[in-house]
Structure 1
Amino acid sequence: MKKLLVILPAVLGLLLLFGHTFAAPGSQSDPLISLSYITDTYLPSLSATIEGRITAAGNTVYGSSSQKLTALVQEYSQKLDALAVQSAFAPEFIQTRVKSGDALTGTTGTGFVLLAGSVNVTFSSGAVINVSTGTEILSGSSLAASQRYLVAEYTTAVFTVSSDTAVVEYEGNYSFASSTGTDYNAMADALKLLGLFRGGDTGYGSGYMLENKPSRVEGLIMFIRLLGEENEALSYAGTSPFKDVPSWASSYVNYAYSKGYTNGVSSSLFGTYSTITAPEYMTLILRSMGYSDASGDFTWDTSLSYAYNKGLLTSGEQALLASKTFYRAQVVYVSYYSLDAALKDGSGTLLQKLIAKSVFGEEAAAQARAKVTSSRIA
């Protein structure tokens, strides 16, 4: 009897928990449940019911979780497969020239340094650290030049070029996406191959300094090269009245002065390091093709529209040069495409003239042209 009294509360609890009902044996006058019924009939039935409900609930949860887990595995497998194709690892810093819209994606441990130009970094979570200052930066920030950045743990960051050109260094895991933007870097490579562009003594970015504003002396040197007269200029031993010309540029300036190509900004100053504007540089380009502002073909301040009317510039190029800050990148652009423009006297193109003067050969010209695959600005 004591055993029955112990079991009954437990049985009643189970009944309340699982809502199980049964038909008790006996009659209205004798409603007691026998111990044999509980142990031999009811408890086995209750146990089977409980086990069935637990199994059903478990199967439902397992099935839902299994589907979600399978979907996640497939999603991340696809991402890993993509990374396996596109990503790479740089064990030490790699330096490269990039163009507007180019994007480098880095993950935990990727290092990045901007040497020239402008780059923005974005990330949806985690952190990017400016190691040079020991501070975190916000997503969307523009990077400071010559400072080292590190992608922190559990972070994927995208470094996107926002200037026409830039010079960057990176190390660690990365993937690189190239834009379809104007490739000023390729044009600089092409002109260098032809001996028309050599850059300066800057220790990075091939010395091209495409992110800098051009100076008057740089414009003059490009003009002399496009005339095909660099050898004559380098061997010229005469002088000029200008007092602000460094020794490395003196032969160019003195030669140009002797030929009447320049009068300087005053009787004693050439204005070596003053910046040259787009209309001023286009004036030199037009002169190299036989047009003359001195004889009234055009004036320096109308050189862009005149070049457009003569087919040297597209409407998009004219608008860009008229509204945008003029950098060495644009010097390279204008110089490269001027090679295909017709000379004033109709004798051919500027490229053909330079080949005829043995400045470079046809094979070099073909190799240079192959370097530039981007389209002109329409």
Structure 2
Amino acid sequence: MKTKKFRIATVVLCLALCFSAVLAEPGGSDDPLISQSYIENVLMPSIKQYVESRIAEVNSGTGSGATDAFTVVEVKKSQQLICAAGTELILRMGSATIIATEKGGLADTTAGFDLANGVTMPANHLLIVPVADGRGIKATSDTLVMVKGGYTIK
């Protein structure tokens, strides 16, 4: 008889524990996931500092490139536009040939291949100069080129 009562008591206790676990409200007012003081004293100041630093970075122009824009550059016939590493080019008017080195040419990201020395620059294709080793373009007529990045005209 004692074992029967013990078993019934054990089953009732297990059921009570299961129901209390199911009905428990995590993150309620008695048991918050994050305390209000943590939010006010730790999270909010760090979020505010991060936002202010990002705004200052964007306003100063030293951001991660989000404010960079293409500029239209006029290159006269037989002039060379020599590019810095990472410069992007788009030929909008006229014609030009590629200036490459023995290390390689300009990456044509529109067509998906490398343009070698002397190849005609395709119009409206995005070209990227991977290394600042004298790569660029030579205008074969008066041209307009959209440029993003560093360059010099010779």
TM-score normalised by length of structure 1: 0.22
Give 2:128's aligned residue.
150
Alpha-carbon distance in 2 for matches of 1:106, 1:154: 6
| Aligned counterparts, 1:1-378, within 5 A | 91-124=68-101, 125-153=103-131, 155-163=133-141, 165-177=142-154
**Inter-CA distance 138–94: structure 2 relative to 1 (3 Å threshold):** same
Alpha-carbon distance in 2 for matches of 1:121, 1:127: 7
3-state SS of the aligned residue for 1:115? strand
Instruction: Tell me, yes or no, if the aligned pair for 1:109 and 1:152 is still in contact at 8 Å.
Output: yes
Structure 2 unaligned runs (5+)? 1-67
Instruction: Provide the identity percentage.
Output: 21
Alpha-carbon distance in 1 for matches of 2:113, 2:70: 21
Alpha-carbon distance in 1 for matches of 2:107, 2:120: 13
Q: Which has the higher helix share?
A: 1
Alpha-carbon distance in 1 for matches of 2:78, 2:105: 22
3-state SS of the aligned residue for 1:112? strand
Task: Map Cα deviations across residues 308-328 of structure 1 (whole Å, 9 max, x no partner).
Answer: xxxxxxxxxxxxxxxxxxxxx
The number of residue pairs the alignment matches comes to: 86
Amino acid aligned to 2:144: V
Instruction: Tell me, yes or no, if the aligned pair for 1:127 and 1:155 is still in contact at 8 Å.
Output: no
Larger gyration radius, structure 1 or structure 2:
1
Instruction: Tell me, yes or no, if the aligned pair for 1:98 and 1:161 is still in contact at 8 Å.
Output: yes
Q: CA deviation at 1:127?
A: 3.1
Task: Map Cα deviations across residues 243-263 of structure 1 (whole Å, 9 max, x no partner).
Answer: xxxxxxxxxxxxxxxxxxxxx
**Inter-CA distance 99–152: structure 2 relative to 1 (3 Å threshold):** same
Which structure's relative contact order is higher, taking Cα pairs within 8 Å and 6+ residues apart?
A: 2
3-state SS of the aligned residue for 1:141? coil
Moved over 4 A (4+): none
Alpha-carbon distance in 2 for matches of 1:153, 1:168: 19
Q: CA deviation at 1:102?
A: 1.8
Structure 1 unaligned runs (5+)? 1-90, 178-378
Q: CA deviation at 1:131?
A: 0.9
Task: Map Cα deviations across residues 41-96 of structure 1 (whole Å, 9 max, x no partner).
Answer: xxxxxxxxxxxxxxxxxxxxxxxxxxxxxxxxxxxxxxxxxxxxxxxxxx421113
Amino acid aligned to 2:148: E
Alpha-carbon distance in 2 for matches of 1:134, 1:155: 21
Amino acid aligned to 1:92: A
Amino acid aligned to 2:105: A
Instruction: Tell me, yes or no, if the aligned pair for 1:120 and 1:159 is still in contact at 8 Å.
Output: yes
Q: Which has the higher strand share?
A: 2
Q: What RMSD, in angstroms, separates the aligned Cα atoms of the two structures? A: 1.6
Give 1:276's aligned residue.
none
3-state SS of the aligned residue for 1:145? coil
Alpha-carbon distance in 1 for matches of 2:115, 2:75: 23
Alpha-carbon distance in 2 for matches of 1:114, 1:151: 14
Instruction: Tell me, yes or no, if the aligned pair for 2:104 and 2:114 is still in contact at 8 Å.
Output: no
